[in-house]
Amino acid sequence: MNLGRAKLILIIAFTGLNFFLGYQLFWPDFGRLTEVAVTAEDLREAEQKLAANNYSLDASFDRSTRTSDFITVFPDWKIKHDLLYKLIKTGVQIEKTEHITYYRTEEMRVIIHSSGLLQVFFTAGETLEEPASALEQGELKEMVEVFLEEEGLLPEGINFNYLEEKEDGSMTLNYYQLLGDLPVFSGNLKVILKDDHIQAVEIYWLEPAERSPHREMEVISPAEALKNLVSELGPSGEERVIKQIELGYYSGEYDAEKWEIPPVWRIVLDNNQYYYVNAFTGNLEKDAVIPDQL
């Protein structure tokens, strides 16, 4: 056996392996195990367009190719039925219009919209153990969720979104819905607090009827979604920061038995302002108009 030749082959093999590993580690657009949807050039172009319109990106995201499908949903009526059963047992005044039903007791006022939106206003305000402003966010969140569970107002699949503090001293805890591991931003829960009282709760929750895996296809990249959003919004008068971009589902509120929800890229700005870009078409989804919001 020619030892010199064998050594040369081994050296070449190791050099090739080292080159391959280094290329995989340090070249951002190398295709590894999944196809890359956002190249370094794509990201630079998106950041340049953002900067030209007075936006900056302070968010990370998965740069691999993603696929998704549609889901069909309908309003979740379980919490409403359970709450009404409890109200009827205690005695309640009922008023109806074409699309809204009002229920009144000494302790609360309940409004149910035909679309499935539930609003609960507490007459005196449910008292917390401590003022909300004195609590850490985690403590406040835990205390509120215990209260919701005791009142039968805690739906399955809640995911904390953010805490909003207003000039009048009130606070709003905002949640969105998870169906399994899928964020469904159309489903939302809001809890209004002031001082040491829970004043109101708003719930709009959905149930999945079916998915459409046969219609699964590749979604647009987050870089393309960012560029489309800026094209739609135009230049900002003040510097804005994009804090998050996440794939999920969103649609407007419908007064219907069931409807389809498309996948979206949810883009969050620094003031908790949310935009939803259709992950198939790239179009900006318009926010739903909900009457009598809290």
Give pLDDT tens digits for 133-182.
788 889 999 999 999 999 999 999 999 999 998 888 889 999 999 988 88
How far is it, in rounded angstroms, from Cα 27 to Cα 168? 51
Which residue in 86, 71, 87 sits closest to 211, CA to CA? 71
The answer to whether 288 touches 206, Cβ cutoff 8 Å, is no
Vertex 288 angle, CA 283 and 292, to 5°: 165
Could you tell me which residue, 81 or 289, shows the higher pLDDT? Answer: 81
Whole-number pLDDT of residue 132: 78
Does residue 17 carry a pLDDT above 50?
no
Instruction: Tell me: pLDDT of 92 over 80.
Output: yes
pLDDT at 13 over 70: no
Tell me: the pLDDT tens digits for 265-294?
Answer: 999 999 889 999 999 999 998 754 333 345
Distance CA 267, CA 273 (A): 8
For the chain, the average pLDDT equals 84
How far apart are alpha carbons 90 and 105 in whole angstroms? 8
Please report how many Cα atoms fall inside a 13 Å half-sphere around the Cα of residue 127, on the Cβ side.
Answer: 3
**What does the alpha-carbon distance between residue 81 and residue 33 come to, in Å, rounded to a whole number?**
48
Share of the chain above pLDDT 70, in %: 85
Which of 261-278 are b and which e, b meaning 16 or more Cβ less than 10 Å from the residue's Cβ?
A: bbbbbbbbbeeeebbbbb
Contacts of 34 (CB under 8 A, 6+ apart): 64, 65
31 pLDDT exceeds 70?
A: no
Nearest residue to 269 via CA among 193, 162, 183:
162
pLDDT score for 26: 38
Phi, psi for 50 (deg, rounded to 5): -60, -50
Q: How far apart are CA 222 and CA 255, in angstroms?
A: 31
Confidence of residue 2 (pLDDT cuts 50, 70, 90): low
Chain mean position to CA 28: 28
Q: Compute the C-alpha angle 130/171/250, nearest 5°.
A: 130
> What are the tokens at 210?
């079916």
List the structure tokens of 143: 């205390």
Question: Is 159 or 90 the better-scoring residue by pLDDT?
Answer: 159
pTM over 0.95: no
16 CA to centre of own chain: 45
Q: Is 234 left (phi over 0), alpha (psi -120 to 50) or beta?
A: left
Q: Check pLDDT > 50 for residue 25.
A: no
Q: Which of 40-44, 71-75, 166-170, 276-280 reaches the highest mean pLDDT?
A: 276-280
Residue 38: the pLDDT is 82
